[in-house]
Amino acid sequence: MYGYMPQYSQQGTLDRINNQIKDLENLRGQLQSNMQPTNLTQNFQISPNNSGIRFAETLNDVEKELVFATTPFFTNDMSQMWIKTPKGDIKTYELTELIKKDDKDILIESLKAEIEELKKGKDYEPSNTSTNEQPTTEVKS
């Protein structure tokens, strides 16, 4: 009788463990069916840090830069401009400053032009030098 008892208690323990395993598997199944997969979306937007205008000293500096959109590069003195495309194509431009002229500047320029015209006209006129000589006429006899 004494040996029979441990055998019964071992069987009961195994049954309880098996029941607990079944319960845990049922819980896991319920949790998995209740959990919906999380949609994970990652968007990477790469953009320049500044307003899109960059400065460079030479064409080599422009060639080294990586661009993601058509980007203008200027020299510090604004005398040259390069336009670089994402493909790596580069166009070079020379820039000149257009200064707005007021009425006084326009008048000065027109007067200077008029003076130049008068100087040119004076150079082409035959010179009439006055001399005190009387024109001579020859008398035929």
Judge whether 41 lies within some domain.
no
Judge whether 23 lies within some domain.
yes
CA 133 distance to own-chain centroid: 80
Together in a domain, 20 and 68: no
Token duo for residue 82: 């390069």
**pLDDT for the residue numbered 44:** 72
- The pTM score is 0.41
Together in a domain, 17 and 59: no
Judge whether 43 lies within some domain.
no
Together in a domain, 13 and 58: no
Together in a domain, 54 and 114: yes
Together in a domain, 112 and 58: yes
Helix (H) or strand (E) holding 8: helix 4-34
Question: CA–CA separation, 47 vs 69, rounded Å?
Answer: 9
Judge whether 60 lies within some domain.
yes
Judge whether 128 lies within some domain.
no
Token duo for residue 121: 């006209």
Judge whether 22 lies within some domain.
yes
pLDDT by position in tens, the chain (length 141): 455 555 567 888 888 899 999 999 998 888 877 776 677 787 777 665 555 788 999 999 999 988 888 999 999 998 999 999 999 999 999 999 888 889 998 999 999 999 999 988 877 665 555 555 565 666 665
**pLDDT for the residue numbered 7:** 56
Question: CA–CA separation, 92 vs 98, rounded Å?
Answer: 19
Together in a domain, 58 and 95: yes
Amino acid at 137: T
Residue corresponding to tokens 């319920």: 30
Boundaries of domain holding 20: 1-32
Together in a domain, 24 and 78: no
Q: In the chain, where do the E strands start and end?
A: 54-55, 71-74, 80-84, 90-94
Judge whether 39 lies within some domain.
no
